[in-house]
Amino acid sequence: MKEIERKYLLRDSIISLIDEQGLKKHKITQFYTTITPIKGVRYRQMDDHYFKTIKLGTGASRKEKEVEISKKKFQKKLEYCIKEPVRKNRYMFDHEGKEYAIDLFKKALKGLYILEIEFPSMKAFEAFKLPKVLKKHVIKDVSFDESFKNKNMVLHDRPQTLSDVTAIFHELDTKNTEELDAYFIPSLSPIDALRVILYKFSLSILLYKERIILHDDEEDLHQFRIHIRKSRTFLKEFDFLFPKKQYRYFNENLTNFATQTNHKRDLDVIQERLKQVDKDHDIIQKDIKQQRRNEQQHIDEMLKGKAFEHFFHTYQRALKKGTLLTSENNTGTIQKTAREVIKALHLNIIKKIDELEKDFDEKKLHKIRISMKKLRYLLEEFQHIFGEEKIEKMIEKGKKLQTLLGDFNDTVNQTKLLHNYFTSNKNHISNSEALENRLLKKTAKSHKKLLLKAKNKLRKFKEHVFTL
């Protein structure tokens, strides 16, 4: 037969209703001998009766087969119990022709209160409305939240409640940039952890946005770009957690805003490289200064524009309101999911290094650099989960390699940018060809030296044992 059930997370105020109504208590002890994403085999003692139940499926409607068994069989199967048995008190009552069950969990799950109502059909399930007497005690409907299924609580402990996550968002809203960078997420479900991390990054993006408009400082723009890059990294590496439509909307807009700052960043790179020339080149500096002013104006218009404002309003609202939650992405813990993602990314980097060693190509090296950057972002964000001391060493080694790869990449970009700059401006720059050759000669020397170092460091990175 089918079990069609609504499940609600309750406030502790439900205890007063139980007392007022004088509801009878039923003691339940239950355990599982089989738990998979789609199957659970449960043994339950309710007062003096014993049951074996097999449930198949996910969500609000599942196949269920239940039979009463002997106390002896119950006790024998207890030997095969997965983790600890679940203990709770159940209070049942009828209201307007429907039977309601309130579960007050004990032991490790103490403080968790759940309301359950069964229905004869999905039509009745969908038409159901909570009676007023219960509404004020309800936090949220968790019928489709797999983390609130008893079998998943056995495996992953108490699920995160909406009120907990809401409190985290309120806390983040009060922090400055330094405090946001230092904030580490608590133990959450995978999607809730990503919601909090992305919201944290979004607050930093908006704080740096204000500073860019006020001060036109290179470092503010740099940090603005870093936090967009971090946001895109976490979206991409955890893309399986997000509904496709929302993922595409978030990623496309963040990419678009970052792209609009690229040219100003390129001008900063050219300007930095020109400082290494021993002569003053007023015309070039003046020209770059003017181009930077134009780009700053363009960036200011983007940051003050309605498209930017609308996106971040929609983005933050989606992250805070829990509209991203599905029955698939809200089960388990971020620890397990993050470990799998980081290991997969590390393995991918090793494969890329192998390919680079077989056939060197600057584009391949650039892809490794980007992947290394992503790995560092993930390690930094989850270091408190896997042990700060161990992860700090990994991060430090990764930073050194990433800096080396970044310096090499800069020489590649500087060569291209300088060549393009001189080609488009040669008519009004005196001795442009001689100046370009001198700059490129210096860049080529640095390029060769850095490449040898990078190859050596990458080989060592590949040989290093990586454990979480």
Are 443 and 418 in a shared domain? yes
Q: Which two tokens stand for residue 51?
A: 């049951």
Are 115 and 230 in a shared domain? no
Are 99 and 174 in a shared domain? no
pLDDT digits (tens, 9 = 90+) for 256-275: 999 999 988 877 766 766 66
Are 207 and 266 in a shared domain? yes
**Total structural domains within the chain:** 2
**CATH value at residue 195:** 1.40.20.10
109 or 85, higher pLDDT: 85
pLDDT of residue 425: 64
Among 121, 156, 191, residue at a domain's last position: 156
Average pLDDT score over residue span 389-408: 77
Are 319 and 454 in a shared domain? yes
Euclidean distance between CA atoms 319 and 325, whole angstroms: 10
Spatial contact of 27 and 47, defined as CB atoms under 8 Å apart: yes
pLDDT of residue 278: 47
Spatial contact of 116 and 11, defined as CB atoms under 8 Å apart: no
Look at the alpha carbons of 377, 383, 384, 385 in this order and tell me if their dihedral is positive or negative. Answer: positive
pLDDT of residue 416: 66
pLDDT of residue 162: 55
Spatial contact of 92 and 104, defined as CB atoms under 8 Å apart: no
Spatial contact of 125 and 144, defined as CB atoms under 8 Å apart: no
Are 136 and 170 in a shared domain? no
Contacts of 182 (CB under 8 A, 6+ apart): none
pLDDT digits (tens, 9 = 90+) for 38-74: 899 999 999 999 999 999 988 778 899 999 999 999 9
Strand partners, 4: 61, 119
The parent domain of residue 36 ranges over: 2-156
pLDDT of residue 22: 94
Q: How large a percentage of the chain has pLDDT more than 70?
A: 86
Are 210 and 353 in a shared domain? yes
Among 156, 191, 213, residue at a domain's last position: 156
Q: Is residue 135, in this structure, part of any structural domain at all?
A: yes
Spatial contact of 89 and 96, defined as CB atoms under 8 Å apart: no
Among 136, 156, 176, residue at a domain's last position: 156
Q: Is residue 25, in this structure, part of any structural domain at all?
A: yes
pLDDT of residue 64: 92
Spatial contact of 322 and 139, defined as CB atoms under 8 Å apart: no
**Position 359, amino acid:** D
Q: Is residue 161, in this structure, part of any structural domain at all?
A: no
Average pLDDT score over residue span 101-130: 92
Q: What is the dihedral of CA 231, 237, 239, 242, to 10 degrees?
A: -60
**360 DSSP 8-state letter:** -
Angle at 8 between CA 6 and CA 10, to 5 degrees: 160
pLDDT of residue 216: 83
Strand partners, 9: 114, 140
* Neighbour count for residue 198 (Cβ, 10 Å): 23
384 or 425, higher pLDDT: 384
- Averaged confidence pLDDT in the chain: 86
Are 27 and 84 in a shared domain? yes
Beta strands per DSSP E along 248-371: none
pLDDT of residue 327: 59
pLDDT digits (tens, 9 = 90+) for 336-383: 899 999 999 999 999 999 998 999 888 888 899 899 999 999 999 988
Burial, 168: exposed, middle or buried (Cβ in 10 Å; 0-12, 13-18, 19+)?
buried
Euclidean distance between CA atoms 375 and 237, whole angstroms: 10
Residue tagged 């307007």 (tokens) = 96
Q: Give the end-to-end CA distance of the chain in Å, rounded to a whole number.
A: 44
pLDDT digits (tens, 9 = 90+) for 239-256: 999 999 999 999 999 999
Q: Which two tokens stand for residue 200?
A: 């944290």
Spatial contact of 311 and 255, defined as CB atoms under 8 Å apart: no
Are 456 and 307 in a shared domain? yes
Strand partners, 34: 41
